[in-house]
Structure 1
Amino acid sequence: MAYSVIKENDLFLITDLSGDILTDSKEGFGLYTKDTRFLSRLALTVNGAKPIVLTSKVDRNYVSNIVLTNPEIKDGEKLWRESVEIVRTRFIYKGILYETIRVTNFNPHSQRVSIDLEINADFQDMFVVRGFQDGQVGQKTGGRQLASGVSIDYGGVDDVKRSLLVEWMEAPAHVVTSNEGAVITYQIDLEAGQSTSINLFFVPVIDEVYPERHSHATAIQELQRSYTNWEKTSTWVSSNHPFFDHLYRQGLSDIRALLTDLGFGLFPVAGLPWYAVPFGRDSLITALQLLPVHPEIAKGTIMTMARYQGEKSDSWRDEQPGKIMHELRDGELANTNQVPFKPYYGTVDATPLFLILIGEYVKWTDDTLLFEKMIPNIKRALEWIDACGNLDESSFVTYNTESAKGITNQGWKDSSNSVVHRNGEYAKAPIALAEVQGYVYQAKTTIAELLRTMKPYSNDYKMIAWSSKLIAEAEELAKMFEKEFWVESDRFYAMALDGDRRQVETVTSNPGHLLMSGMLKPHRAEAVADKLVSKGLFSGYGIRTMAEGEKGYNPISYHNGSVWPHDNSLCLMGLNHEGFHKEALTVMEGLLAAGASFENHRLPELFCGYTTDKGEPFRYPVACSPQAWAAATPFVFIEVMLGMRLDYTIRQVSLHPVLPAGMDLLSVRSLRLGSGMLDVDVNRSNEACAYHVLANTTGWTIGSH
């Protein structure tokens, strides 16, 4: 990873490994919030020369530590090579980037060191930075010097005033401001072995609202405290498989870094660096994965999605009443409607996933108050599924892009070439994706189960009738799905039906998501499980998005042969739900082997679909890292290793533990469920796994299956 990135709430910084942001870089480095780049240049020189990087790392996802030294400098203030150390430490807290530059003189004599910082802000919209969109934008009004800092100001065409405020604690020797930003110069005289520090604050200011500034020491203490509290309140897992423990803890840290609050509770944004915004599908799936570890994140996600639920028909945004958004952007182009992303609704699966998350969250937490509050949103989402989602009146939920700047394919495989027939022809809309029908089935049956079981609804005639209606609709959908999607020659399901109701027979991972829905008959579920771990789909490191041998297969494509950990995790949920423990172990062991080879031992957004005989898995060139639903994949392993299934109607947790190769001991502590927590140990002896419940305050009984 040739960049450094840190994030807190909705402010993030991405730089090169030296900590610089160079104007001519193609990577889009900068300091961003509200889809706007507030810092577009930050270049540090020592005695006029660019320093050499010794090490560059991000500790626990929130503190960037970069150690630099000087090259040999013969002109001006001479410096012997590697005689000065410069340590740049950065973190973000409550809307401010804090930076400390610590300079140490390792010469055996006194030395004058000049530190220059070139600073600029272009206030470019994220879409412009990434080359996706041009448009009418505002203009910068230049830089100005203040008593203890400089400000660079911008007036947007959206009538939003934006400024970058750079402040310091230690006064520099010189400051020069211009329309090109500012140059800040420190002249530092150091004795042999002496160190000194420069403390800076980079503050994005929107409409003259200034975040509260703290000392560097106070801010980092508070930030560290929040991470410590996050870990303490998490389900804690340990095993004798050292890599799994690292993967799990890395996932916890990654998710914490990706949390954002728009005023409705914490929820995970999609990923860094370019998707640090709310995404319906990504945020919902990540929250679903997080249920055993941090169920409260699901509540924040549900509340955020409900706030932006579609209200009207707007083809520019692909919006319909009751629909859950795809993506929310807040930059200048979105604010002025030059791009349809405030928010954009071009997703076919977020709406049923919203309902699934509500149902599963309430099961896990007994938060009946949230369910009651969400009843109007649930009804509107179901109305969208039954009306707007059923574009071709086929009884299946389909999609068809209306927006001129919308997304062509609106399932999770949203690249333009991802739904392809075996003859190489791309499917034409309206398209019905296999997994989406499973989501709809699961959404309706889950909501129906809660209506039948929860008080006071279980004694309410109207709610009982509503529940029965949802069950009937779900069963009819299952019958229709079986008839139209099953491909007997493959012993598998088509990934989709196209606009002519033709099967897209290409073998893909999409039908693997059906297993978690409970929609399939046992013999069909077994066929799906077998196919997922077959040679064509399973690479050895994970389930591919498309099977090797298909005409559209490409192991280095985004969606047609790569491996996505979150895709595998949804398949794992289903394999566990249907009792296919052997197949689940195969997938889990593949992902563990893959994760061990990646930087920071972190599962990336995706990786190439080559088989294990090619060596370590190949990284995908532009994969997000960290990425929310990849970071949360190890949390699904907990459910799978415990063989955990919930029966809400009788409030029983069934366990059937299985452990991957290399693990004989597993301890799970403070797994939150119902009104309390569950502590469980699993031991393997003579290839058999047994569990021991050490504590159970959940209000649920424990059984085996």
Structure 2
Amino acid sequence: MTGPIRIGDEWYVTVAAARADNNPYVLKSDDSFALFDRVGDIRAWGEGEQGLYHRDTRYLSRMELLVDGLRPMFLGATVKERNNLLIVEAMNPDLLADGALRVPKGEIHLFRAKLLWDDACWEHLRLTHHGLEAVDLELTLQFDADFRDLFEVRGTARAQRGTAHPPRRQGDTLEFAYDGLDGLRRTSRVTLQPSPDTWGEREVRYRLHLTPGAELHLYCTVACDVGETPRTRAPGYDAAFRANAQAREHQARGAGRIRSSNPLVERWLERSVADVAMLTTELPTGPYPYAGVPWYSTTFGRDGLITARELLWLDPALARGVLECLAASQATAVDDERDAEPGKILHEARQCEMARTREVPFERYYGTIDATPLFVALAGAYWRRTADLAFVRRLWPHVLAALQWIDRWGDRDGDGFVEYARRSSRGLAQQGWKDSHDSVFHADGRLAEAPIALCEVQAYVYEAKRYGAELAAALGESTLAQQLEDQAATLRRAFHARFWCEELGLYAIALDGDKAPCRVATSNAGHTMWTGIAAPEHAARMAQRFGEPDFWTGWGIRTVAAGQARYNPMSYHNGSIWPHDNALVAMGLARYGHTDAATRVMDGLFEATLHFAQHRMPELFCGFHRRDGEGPTLYPVACAPQAWSAAAVFGMLQANLGLEIDAPAGVLSLRSPRLPSFIDWLALHDLRVGEASVDLLLRRYDRDVGVQITRKDGPLEVRVAV
């Protein structure tokens, strides 16, 4: 399990047991998610995180199925391709009576199908008798609901809790209720059809008589309600299943599709599409990819923005939803406890009891230094991808507010660099994407003192200024456009002068509060190529550095190079491998023409996926060097799925293909396209640009890639540069 403790003024996540030990099966729908063990149960053992959660509160902490008091024997389990259904198959163990064998193992087949929909978990349980004689069985279902806040599950101690009411039966429903300290009643309603023979306080029992060949169907729905009145839901499992499937199909419409010659690549792509779809929640402002399950199943500004950028070329609708949400939640006033200032973009939002009572500071928290420039950059990238001027015009006041935040609040000392220093008494001390307490340090291992100017943040600001200029020009504000271009050029010159470290062959990770560079070899420097702030000669040097053994593991690029102070391949940020980080570096390498180096990154991560359960790319994994005959080493509490890790493959494909879309000009271009050695051909279907759409087929040859337009509808020019 994990749990935040305090180290000085920092939130830190302790680990007492690895999630990899039980490898739970994950389902998510909108604001609900669930973690099940391999037989589909939620087991109330130890301090594990299994459960059914809604809005960061655990509504079901136990759900165990027993046959004559024994757990079924596991046969197999899978989460279906669209991530909307968990299928579990099991059988009865040997059942004894007075020491004699009454029912041999394997005569009763148990089939469980679970899905989440409409703030409820729906289960269909089917029992089939394959024996030759009739049998009598007792089937028991045990339930409990602890209504623990997610931060409690992670280990945060609470001085007091709300009131948990004794379970009560209401017809065919068993109700668990909790009145929180935030004034909300939360209720779990367990409805069973047909009605059990025996009802207990926390369990129900069925007495079953099964003749040979008999098949019996049971249904269990666990509804998560907030407030006194239960919501109206689908009439049963079948209706919920149909509605869930239709929603998944609707979600996929309008996005491009990819096929590959390699079935294993297709499985990676299909899993990634399904993971992003599962994590995406339909908010009032549109679709938003929640960051990851279990710990980050909510809106995170940075994660949503980067996920949307990785997928932008394939599905711009997600970027629009992210921009809408973050514009609606943009800070409008100074609030030190939230680390908020006017124009700043959200870091994290939570709806749980501890956030609502301010026991944790994350109800609406703005302690991120990079989300604001990333917001402006996504707005500009979205414009270039879609030419949607009406939307850009509506978003423009928020873009202006974000640009003003960069200049006024982001650069507080006026030195031209954007830096952070926490104001909140309980917020995050490190406010870049590497937000561990020990992630920014000097070559001798000393932690950097705030205010801290991260190298990748300056790169994001540079891109924000350039995209801001493009948006201003599109809206007819030529004077502002020129001002922003001039500011970007000034920042680029100053950045090269202050951050480049010739002895490292990289940009320093940061400048500390004394403006001294932190001369540490980190992957952060690679993001400078992604945004274009890096000098070409520096990019060439970095392309070489990231391929050297201290960075390159064979699976991917480490966050911190081996041999650096604080390097640890098992750390969260100081030597591990993050797929989204690798994807951004690969996109940057390709931008500067180092496509072979970008292809190597995709090659390593593809090989890693072959060892991950369900081909699912986790949040991160350990940075040990690749060894023959062994797979990558898992990080014990990594989220899986994680949105920006799932989307990483699409960013890497774009990098390999050199694919760029200029919708205002009606041009799709591929610059020096490459395919990895494990892909012979790649087909892109229904790639939409404005009113046009196109299908492309790319084939790999010895020295280049051939591009064939197999279908084109509407006005679109396709350019290929070798």
- Alignment TM class, shorter chain as reference: over 0.9
Helix, strand or coil: the match of 2:620? coil
Gaps of 5+ in 2: 1-19
How many angstroms apart in 2 are the aligned matches of 1:647 and 1:96? 43
How far is 1:421 from its partner? 1.3
User: How many Å apart are 1:685 and its aligned residue?
Assistant: 2.7
1:601 aligns with 2:615: yes
Query: What does residue range 639-658 of structure 1 map to in structure 2 within 5 Å?
Result: 639-647=654-662, 650-655=665-670, 656-658=672-674
Residues 646 and 575 of structure 1, relative CA distance in 2, 3 Å threshold? farther
Q: 2:356 aligned with 1:335, yes or no?
A: yes
- Tell me, yes or no, if structure 1 residue 628 matches structure 2 residue 649: no
In structure 1, the partner of 2:704 is 688
- What residue in structure 1 maps to residue 198 of structure 2? 174
1:22 counterpart residue number: 43
Counterpart of 1:193 in structure 2 is 213
1:363-401 Cα deviation digits (max 9, x unpaired): 111221211111111111111111111234322111112
Partner of 1:616: 631
Q: Give 1:340-351 correspondences, 5 Å limit.
A: 340-351=361-372
Task: Mark the CA change 1:664 to 1:19 in structure 2 (over 3 Å): closer, same or farther.
Answer: closer
Give distance in 1, aligned partners of 2:367 and 2:515: 21
Shift of residue 295, structure 1, vs aligned partner: 1.1
Counterpart contact for 2:186–2:226, Cα < 8 Å: yes
Q: TM-score, normalised by structure 2?
A: 0.93
Where in structure 1 do 4 or more consecutive aligned residues deviate above 6 Å?
A: none
In the TM superposition, residue 18 of structure 1 has moved relative to its aligned partner by 2.1
Partner of 2:94: 72
**Are 2:123 and 2:219, in contact at CA under 8 Å, matched by a contact in 1?**
yes
Give the drift of 1:81: 2.8
The code of the aligned residue for 2:668 comes to V
Distance 1:431 1:289 in 2: 27
* Pairing 1:205–2:225 present: yes
In structure 1, which of residues 227, 235, 260 is the aligned counterpart of residue 256 of structure 2? 235
**Matching residue of 2:488:** 474
| TM-score in terms of structure 1 length | 0.95
- Asked whether the 8 Å contact 1:137–1:332 carries over to 2, the reply is no
> Does the 8 Å CA contact 1:673/1:698 hold for their aligned counterparts?
no
Query: Secondary structure of the equivalent of 1:483?
Result: helix
Other-structure match for 1:420: 441
Q: Mark the CA change 1:372 to 1:191 in structure 2 (over 3 Å): closer, same or farther.
A: same
Between 1:490-499 and 1:53-62, the stretch displaced more is 53-62
Question: 1:560 corresponds to which residue?
Answer: 574
**Counterpart in 1 of 2:406?**
385
Q: After TM superposition, give the deviation of residue 700 of structure 1 in Å.
A: 4.0
Which residue in 2 is equivalent to 1:129?
153
The Cα shift of 1:640 comes to: 2.2
Q: Distance in 2 between matches of 1:105 and 1:202?
A: 27
**% of aligned pairs identical?**
35
Structure 1 Cα separation of the partners of residues 448 and 134 of structure 2: 72
2:344 is paired with a residue of what secondary structure?
coil
Q: Distance in 2 between matches of 1:368 and 1:209?
A: 43
Q: Which residue of 2 aligns with 1:672?
A: 688
8 Å contact from structure 2 (residues 496, 535) kept in 1:
no
1:4-83 map, 5 Å: 4-60=25-81, 61-75=83-97, 78-83=102-107
Structural RMSD (CA): 1.8
User: What's the offset of the Cα at 1:651?
Assistant: 4.5
The answer to whether the 8 A contact 1:259-1:266 is kept is yes
Aligned pairs (5 A) from 1:444-459: 444-452=465-473, 454=474, 457-458=475-476
> 1:191-248 CA distances to partner (integer Å, 9 max, x unpaired)?
0121101111110111125142232122212222333344454312122222222111
Counterpart code for 1:213: A
Instruction: Output the amino acid matched with 2:552.
Output: F
Which deviations, in whole Å up to 9, do the C-alpha atoms of 1:145-197 show, x marking residues without a partner?
112212111111111111111112211101123xxxx2111111110121101
Task: Give the letter aligned to residue 558 of structure 1.
Answer: Y
Paired position in structure 2 for 1:539: 553
CA distance in 2, matches of 1:96, 1:5: 14
- SS of the equivalent of 1:187 reads strand
Counterpart CA distance in 2 for 1:449 and 1:531 is: 33
Judged with a 3 Å threshold, the aligned counterparts in structure 2 of structure 1 residues 209 and 677 are, in CA distance, closer, same or farther, namely farther
Which of the residues 163, 175, 180 maps onto 1:151? 175
Amino acid paired to 2:462: Y
Question: Shift of residue 138 of structure 1?
Answer: 1.0
Tell me the residue number matched to 1:254.
275
What secondary structure is seen at the aligned counterpart in 2 of 1:320?
A: coil
1:604–1:630 Cα contact (<8 Å) kept: yes
SS at match of 1:421: coil
Residue deviations 1:236-265 (CA, integer Å, cap 9, x gap): 212222222211111111111111123111
Whether the aligned pair in 2 keeps the contact of 1:429 and 1:498 (CA below 8 Å) is yes
**Which of 490, 501, 511 matches 2:525?**
511
1:356-367 map, 5 Å: 356-367=377-388
Q: Which moved more, 1:432-441 or 1:313-322?
A: 313-322
CA contact (8 A) 2:386 2:663 kept: no
TM-aligned CA distance change 1:650 to 1:109, over 3 Å: closer
Q: Distance in 1 between matches of 2:395 and 2:304?
A: 18
One-letter amino acid matched to 1:203: A
**2:669/2:719 contact within 8 Å kept:** yes
Residues 180 and 353 in structure 2, CA contact (< 8 A), matched pair in contact too: yes
* TM superposition shift of 1:36: 0.8
Q: Distance in 1 between matches of 2:447 and 2:275?
A: 36
